[in-house]
Chains A and B, each alone.
Chain A
Amino acid sequence: QSALTQPASVSGSPGQSITISCTGSSSDVGGFNYVSWYQQHPGKAPKLMIYDVTNRPSGVSNRFSGSKSGNTASLTISGLQTEDEADYYCCSYTSSRTYVFGTGTKVTVL
């Protein structure tokens, strides 16, 4: 199972919006509405930010939103803040009843 494809880096200025893509196949992203997104700060454990493509866990800012079109899922961060600088990973359930993570995207706040 190959990792889902994400851009290596995305940057934006405070207050701007950025979008991170996550591309898979019909066997994972495109086949199920089980895409999640995780934020990871250096040296810390990942934190769930979005689940089931579009849902936010309690306590996660509404500046984070998710969507999906075909085999590509996306995470949008609006009103970018300095604390959003981190690595972000998508994750999808697969037709093999396993899971696969994306390659990861480093978000830089300029």
Chain B
Amino acid sequence: QVQLVESGGGVVQPGRSLRLSCAASGFTFRSYAMHWVRQAPGKGLEWVTVTSYDGSEKYYADSVKGRFTISRDNSKNTLYLQMNSLRAEDTAVYYCAKDQNGNCDYWGQGTLVTVSS
């Protein structure tokens, strides 16, 4: 069965960096695009970024463009999100999600990132 497990969250000071990981199993990871979606405490879902199956195409929400970088290692079945210049408003649960023709058909349980001094 499809399994997505995020890790790397924690408390970080404003302006610092953090890298999230998403370990995938139960499907052919290298064949699917992957997304990151976040949810601030008590708020709605916000799409963050997507990468194509081979990492050649990447798109970002305006709110993170230039600060966040999505990447993947298909040999390790792992998706990453490098987050730089973090701000208080980046505080959220970050979910990775598998893409199926433009839809997020499977989601991980999320990892909490708290940006605070």
Contact = CB atoms under 8 A, between A and B. Distances in A.
Contacts of A101: 37, 44-47
Interface residues of A, number: 26
B103 A104 contact: no
Contact of A51 (B45, B62, B100, B110): B100
A47 B107 CA distance: 7
A102 B35 CA distance: 17
A102 B44 contact: yes
B101 interface: yes
Interface of B: 35, 37, 44-47, 50, 59-62, 95, 100-105, 107-110
8 contacts: A34-B102, A34-B103, A38-B45, A45-B110, A46-B45, A47-B107, A51-B101, A101-B46
Interface of A: 1, 3, 34, 36, 38, 40, 45-48, 51-52, 57, 87, 89, 91, 93, 96-104
